[in-house]
Amino acid sequence: MANPNYTFKKRILVPFWVIRGLLVLLFIIAFGYMINMTSCQYDDAESMIIFYIFLIGVLLLDILQIFYFYKNKLTPLTFLTLNAMQCGFWVGNFFADIASMSRTGADPVTIGIILFILVLYLPMLVYASIGYHRQRKQQRLGNYSLTYNPAQQEARHNLPVYQGQAPTKPANMV
């Protein structure tokens, strides 16, 4: 029978968090450098800054998951919600880059990088979804409890007989 309290496996979470965190941190540094270099040339720097803020938000969501995990407060619903937000950002970014590439003929290497990052986020979303559904299934099953059996003798817990007074007979017994 499965464990009623679904626990996440450290051997699955930690490698993904490390790889994703380092990759997104590298992406943030590179994108910040790019914003710094192009902010004086283009008027479109505001949209780049908004994207940069979302990148930082995705990294902070990973840090929040790690914090909740080590405080044992990472529930399957929280884990699923945070991963869905992160995957939603990368899926939206992937489709926006495809639309941009079809309009302007942008570099397909960018699409490859975004697709690689998205591939790193999808397995965690699947893992979170499996954990959430297992936890819901366990909640529906309920907990086993013993029922009262009148034919079974009542447990006496091996208590010694009280020596202070002789046992009395009930009034209806002869």
DSSP letter for each residue of 145-162: -PPP-TTSPPP-TTPPPP
Q: Is residue 118 part of a domain?
A: yes
pLDDT for 158 equals 64
* Per-residue pLDDT in tens (0 to 9) along the chain, 174 residues: 344 455 678 888 899 999 999 999 998 898 888 877 776 666 666 777 888 899 999 999 999 999 999 888 888 999 999 999 999 999 998 888 888 887 777 677 878 888 888 899 999 999 999 989 988 888 777 665 566 666 766 665 666 666 666 666 666 665
- Supply the pLDDT for residue 78: 93
Question: How many domains does the chain fold into?
Answer: 1
The structure tokens listed for 159 are 């208590």
Q: What's the token pair of residue 115?
A: 């697709």
Cβ 58 vs Cβ 86: under 8 Å: yes
Distance (Å) of CA 161 to CA 18, 86, 157, 164, 173: 65, 67, 12, 9, 21
80: closest CA among 70, 93, 68?
A: 68
Is 38 inside any structural domain?
A: yes
pLDDT on residue 130: 92
What distance in Å separates the CA atoms of residue 74 and residue 61, rounded to the nearest whole number?
A: 12
Structural domain includes residue 170:
no
Look at residue 115 and tell me if it is in a domain. Answer: yes
Does a structural domain hold residue 163? no
Query: What is the phi/psi pair of residue 173, to 5°?
Result: -95, 145
CA dist 136 and 157 (Å) reads 38
The whole domain housing 109 covers 10-141
In a domain, 89, yes or no: yes
Instruction: Give the whole-angstrom CA distance, residue 59 versus residue 28.
Output: 9
Does residue 92 belong to any structural domain of this protein?
yes
